[in-house]
Amino acid sequence: MKKIAVFVSGNGTNLQAIINAVSRGALKAQIALVVSDKKNAFALIRARRAGIKALFLDPKDYESRRAYDAALVRCLKAQKIDLVVLAGFMRILSPLFVQAFRNRILNIHPALLPAFPGECAIKDAFRHGVKVTGITVHFVDEEVDHGPIIAQESVNVLATDTAESLEEKIHRVEHRIYPEAIKKVLSGGFTLKGRRVLPVSRKS
């Protein structure tokens, strides 16, 4: 069974969605490790409650981002991790880390990339007055919110929506499509052609 590591910084609702998908058999994978850069992240409690190994790795203990990421790489390789899943992890990964797990790092972003990159995507989209926003699951590369897109789903912004209600709608979609995207990647049923993630044609 493929092993995944989930990186978190906060509450961990996407982590919980992944845990739930594994528990009900919708996602055939082992969450072997949950890593946080925040000691008090509630996501670590979620992991421990589910019997998953949880690790707090303090960036302040390392002299540079590269040194911190090198420690992360060592931890993941020791656990023989197949796929890294970012779920609200609020640090930018260095090229060293990306190169170590090339095309094996996923991120979920609460907007239809390339629109509204960055950590305030929901508020930015709402303030901009868009009628449609959404969610993107993508591979992580050396640029922020930039890698090849695995899955996207739109969310309508209604006249009655507030920034808070829009955030709730987006999170509900995130919790459904992230486990589905992880499953797609782990199945290997895709090929990368430049920036395009295409299904593998299966000859009978």
Tell me the per-residue pLDDT of 59-87, one tens digit each, with 9 for 90 and over: 999 999 999 999 999 999 999 999 999 99
Name, in order, each residue with C-beta under 8 angstroms of 62's C-beta and a sequence gap of 6 or more.
68, 71
Residues 6+ apart with CB under 8 A from 39: 56, 58
Q: What is the DSSP string of 28-44?
A: --EEEEEEES-TT-HHH
Whose structure tokens read 């170590």? 100
Output the pLDDT for position 204: 42
Q: What is the pLDDT of residue 203?
A: 55
How deeply is 64 buried, as exposed, middle or buried, from its count of CB atoms within 10 A (0-12, 13-18, 19+)?
exposed
Helix (H) or strand (E) run with residue 156 in it = strand 149-156
Using N-to-C axis directions, what is the helix angle for 13-23 and 42-49, rounded to 10°? 10
- Mean pLDDT calculated for residue range 164-179: 97
Task: Please name the residue that has the structure tokens 């299904």.
Answer: 199
The per-residue pLDDT for 53 is: 97
Q: Which residues of 165-178 are buried (b: 16+ CB within 10 A; e: fewer)?
A: ebeebbbebbbebb
Q: Where are the domains of the chain?
A: 3-198
For the chain, what is the mean pLDDT?
95
Q: Which of 17-31, 127-141, 146-160, 178-192 has the lowest mean pLDDT?
A: 178-192
pLDDT of 2-49, one tens digit each?
999 999 999 999 999 999 999 999 999 999 999 999 999 999 999 999
Q: Please give the positions annotated as active site.
A: 109
Architecture of domain 3-198: 3-Layer(aba) Sandwich (3.40)
The reported pLDDT for the residue numbered 201 is 67
